[in-house]
Amino acid sequence: MVDWAQVASDLDEQGHALIRALLTPEQCRSMAALYAGAGPFRSRVVMERHGFGRGEYKYFDHPMPGLVAGLRESVYPRLAPIANRWNEAMGVDVRYPPQHAEFIARCHAAGQCKPTPLLLQYGPGDYNCLHQDLYGEQVFPLQMVVLLSEPERDFSGGEFVMTEQRPRMQSRPMVLPLRQGDAAVIAVHHRPVQGTRGAYRVNLRHGVSLVRSGRRHTLGIIFHDAT
């Protein structure tokens, strides 16, 4: 059972929240095994070709695996109230509907019709540069990543990292200690932080440190679609 009140509190405090053992080891292995096949994918991206780092990932196509679609549909309603509260605090007019299907309809009306959930694969020497997953005008400000591999058994290194840049301050680094099946809910690009004169906006990025050995797989759940 996920303690969504704690998730909301952690997101407000840190810009990220951990959910332990969201997926079982069997679910993780089954999902990671999809990467080697043709599978339900629409495209494959080799990071080095685009200056994104080293490693690769594949975007799911419709129909997505039931586990992926189910996570998107079930987690979004828990996060939409947080997203709305954040936007209100930051003075952003956009509000998000209670159900994911309604938000996806908004994405499609804006020409964002390509699904964005993805599987990532890293080997020795691979890494993911700090980035933000923005795919068009319609952006849901929270996303989720699930580690499918077990650290120190399947791979070494490859820590999930984030940075937070506050105005007129140096960047704050964060390392999220994920185990197999753990999920991290993270801010996509901005979050509000309460200051002496009210809330102000901070900028966040995320990435993966150098994988030293083995193979690392991750599932990414992004709630907005892409152009």
Q: How large is the average pLDDT for residues 195-209?
A: 90
Q: How large is the average pLDDT for residues 22-40?
A: 95
CB 125 within 8 A of CB 221: no
Q: How large is the average pLDDT for residues 50-58?
A: 97
pTM of the prediction?
0.95
Among the ranges given (13-17, 84-88, 109-113, 169-173), the one the predictor scored with the smallest mean pLDDT: 169-173
Residue 15 confidence (pLDDT): 95
102 sits in which H/E element: helix 100-109
Residue 11 confidence (pLDDT): 97
Burial of 63 (0-12, 13-18, 19+ CB in 10 A): exposed
Residue 38 confidence (pLDDT): 81
Residue 113 confidence (pLDDT): 97
Higher pLDDT, 170 or 160: 160
The percent of residues above 90 in pLDDT, for the chain, comes to 92
